[in-house]
């Protein structure tokens, strides 16, 4: 970056209500790999924003909030390809340094370079993946700089629902550092990763304690029972007791790993997820050898003040608790990856998750995306190609494959995640059957929804979306497990809690009573009938909360008003869940 940059009239940030002396989201964020050393680097950073070679903003920014969010203190969208230059002087406490310093970035959108004392140490092109940089131990202080560019939907990088111009079901971009930044110190021999594979049937734990050094001896404690291990080797032990995980009893085994002078805490849940035939020969989801209906809500993961990032971890907890209070047992994390702490809360509180892979590719053509909704006969894999699905960039396709494998590797130990969605409604879809077969071969015990909605391909599920035609019956010749991975979409705009001009939804309600009635009918009548008649095994309603231009949430965007009668909605959910006969 050139040191001499022309300046123009600077944008004045929105500083009101932003306490730059605070450190938001300061609790240790990564509960499945918790170290004994930790310094949170969230809080006030310096920021310069450059557009067309001119500085248009200089001031402070609050990390970990996107530039466009009010919690960042900037609260403005800039042009595509603008450069965001973050900087912060880091002072290392004398009692913190072991042999090496590791700086963790949970998420930077979209592409970035990291510099330590003007030396480039990392380049990252994966906005939904965490990454690390290392700093030499002798540095008692250093300057940390992060240069970011965000092309949103004008390039092939993964973006989820972010667009430059929000409309209908697409929302504001979240540029820059939008997840936690924190620092750890490690000794010369240290733990790099934990692979934990509990077996429900064998009542064992297969594990691998990864380290920067091979064949080092250490100890692992499972609920305080001690076992020995050798680094970077697959090992297997009998579990000290049999305590399965499900949402009614979300038991988590405590894990502590000690390797010389390094120590990490973790946990895992013991559960088994599979698809098999019931007594009637219908393929259904089975959890811990019992049929399980997934009744959930689409969760966009957007927050009024923080875009993709909550103001507090309690916002995550309240969303999970609200879904359960309304009678739902599942959330579909829609084309985004949440902060690590969210998954910990899902595991701990007990809720089932469907985890989507964020979509990418260049701007989508509406006709190519929407036609299968009107003409189901067009929803076959043979009807897609790279050009049609905005996937002509080879690098973008390679990025997606790398990200897909990384999401699975990073999140595989969370018992709450039951299903992984590879593509949604043709958004950047490519080679779906091939990608499914590759991921299934690597993770045979995982369940994959290859193409949620349409453009069907080889998959563990027959997965459809049904909104304006809720009773639409699409036949599945492959006799797969049948789920409606999106449906409903009743919109109700609550006065004084509807902050955006748009009014996008699939059905419209104009009152609390009407919203309740329409959703109760969908749950307890329309979809209820399909559990036995069509073998329906899962239903995801749109959606948990309103989002910008969408008003089809069960709670308003500010999370202040629940839009329906909790008691009646819960009763409808209980009726649907009870319709699945137990073997």
Task: Tell me the range of 154-168, 228-242, 366-380 where mean pLDDT is highest.
Answer: 228-242
pLDDT of residue 435: 98
pLDDT of residue 583: 43
- Res. 173: pLDDT tops 60: yes
pLDDT of residue 378: 86
Nearest alpha-carbon partner for 362 in 155, 73, 52, 101? 155
Element (H, E) at 454: none
CA–CA separation, 43 and 453 (whole Å): 40
pLDDT of residue 2: 42
Given pLDDT bands bounded at 50, 70 and 90, which one contains residue 17?
Answer: confident
pLDDT of residue 9: 55
pLDDT of residue 506: 82
Q: Kind of pairing, strands 34-35 and 6-7?
A: unpaired
CA–CA separation, 372 and 383 (whole Å): 10
- Res. 580: pLDDT tops 90: no
- Res. 6: pLDDT tops 60: no
- Res. 581: pLDDT tops 70: no
Distance of CA 558 to the CA centre of its chain: 20
Q: Could you report the per-residue pLDDT of 196-244, keeping only the tens digit for each?
A: 999 999 999 999 999 999 999 999 999 999 999 999 999 999 999 999 9
Helix/strand/coil (H, E, C) string of 265-326? EEEECECCEEEEECCCCCEEEEECCEECCEEEEEECCCECCCECCCCCHHHHHHHHHHHHHC
Q: Kind of pairing, strands 461-466 and 481-488?
A: parallel
Nearest alpha-carbon partner for 240 in 252, 228, 229, 224? 224
End-to-end distance of the chain based on CA atoms, in angstroms?
Answer: 65
Indicate the Cα dihedral angle 296, 298, 302, 304, nearest 10°: -70
Name the pTM for this structure: 0.95
């Amino acid at each position: 970056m050139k040191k001499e940059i022309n300046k123009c009239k600077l944008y004045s940030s929105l500083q009101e209500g932003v306490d730059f002396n605070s450190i938001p989201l300061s609790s240790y964020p990564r509960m499945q790999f918790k170290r004994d050393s930790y310094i949170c680097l969230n809080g006030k950073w310096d920021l310069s924003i450059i557009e067309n070679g001119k500085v248009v903003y200089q001031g402070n920014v609050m990390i970990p909030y996107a530039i466009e969010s009010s919690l960042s203190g900037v609260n403005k969208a800039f042009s595509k390809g603008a450069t965001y230059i973050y900087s912060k002087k880091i002072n290392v406490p004398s009692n913190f340094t072991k042999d090496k310093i590791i700086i963790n970035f949970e998420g930077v959108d979209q592409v970035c370079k990291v510099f330590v004392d003007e030396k480039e140490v990392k380049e990252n092109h994966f906005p939904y993946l965490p990454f690390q940089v290392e700093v030499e131990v002798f540095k008692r202080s250093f300057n940390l700089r992060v240069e970011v560019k965000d092309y949103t939907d004008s390039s092939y990088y993964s973006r989820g629902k972010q667009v430059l111009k929000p409309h209908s079901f697409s929302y504001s971009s979240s540029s820059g550092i939008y997840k936690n930044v924190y620092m750890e110190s490690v000794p010369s021999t240290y733990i790099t990763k934990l692979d934990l594979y509990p077996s429900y049937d064998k009542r064992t734990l297969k594990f691998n304690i990864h380290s920067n050094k091979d064949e080092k001896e250490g100890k692992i404690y499972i609920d305080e029972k001690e076992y020995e291990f050798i680094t970077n080797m697959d090992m297997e032990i009998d579990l000290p007791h049999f305590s399965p995980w499900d949402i009614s009893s979300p038991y988590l085994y405590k894990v502590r790993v000690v390797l010389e002078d390094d120590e990490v805490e973790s946990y895992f849940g013991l559960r088994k997820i599979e698809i098999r035939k019931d007594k009637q020969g219908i393929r259904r989801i089975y959890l811990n050898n019992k049929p399980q209906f997934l009744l959930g809500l689409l969760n966009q993961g957007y927050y009024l003040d923080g875009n993709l990032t909550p103001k507090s971890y309690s916002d995550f907890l309240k969303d999970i608790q609200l879904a359960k209070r309304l009678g739902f047992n599942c959330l579909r994390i829609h084309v985004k990856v949440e902060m690590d702490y969210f998954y910990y809360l899902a595991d701990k509180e007990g809720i089932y998750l469907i985890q989507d892979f964020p979509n990418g590719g260049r701007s989508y053509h509406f006709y190519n995306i929407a036609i299968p909704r009107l003409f189901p006969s067009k929803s076959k894999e043979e009807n897609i190609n790279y050009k049609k699905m905005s996937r002509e960039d080879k690098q973008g396709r390679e990025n997606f494959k790398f990200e897909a494998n990384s999401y699975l590797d990073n999140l595989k130990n969370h018992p709450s995640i039951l299903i992984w969605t590879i593509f949604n409604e043709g958004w950047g879809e490519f080679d779906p059957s091939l990608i499914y077969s590759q991921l299934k071969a690597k993770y045979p015990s995982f369940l994959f929804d290859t193409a949620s909605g349409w453009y069907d391909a080889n998959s563990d599920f027959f997965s459809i979306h049904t909104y304006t035609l809720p009773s639409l019956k699409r036949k599945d010749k492959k006799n797969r497990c049948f789920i409606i991975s999106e449906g409903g979409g009743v919109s109700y705009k609550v006065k004084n809690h509807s902050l955006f001009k748009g009014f996008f939804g699939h059905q419209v309600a104009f009152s609390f009573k009407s919203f309740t009635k329409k959703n109760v009918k969908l749950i307890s009548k329309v979809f209820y009938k399909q559990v036995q008649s069509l073998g329906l095994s899962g239903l995801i309603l749109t959606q948990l909360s309103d989002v910008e231009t969408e008003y089809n949430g069960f709670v308003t965007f500010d999370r202040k008003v629940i839009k329906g009668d909790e008691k009646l909605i819960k009763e409808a959910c209980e009726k649907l869940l009870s319709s699945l006969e137990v073997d």
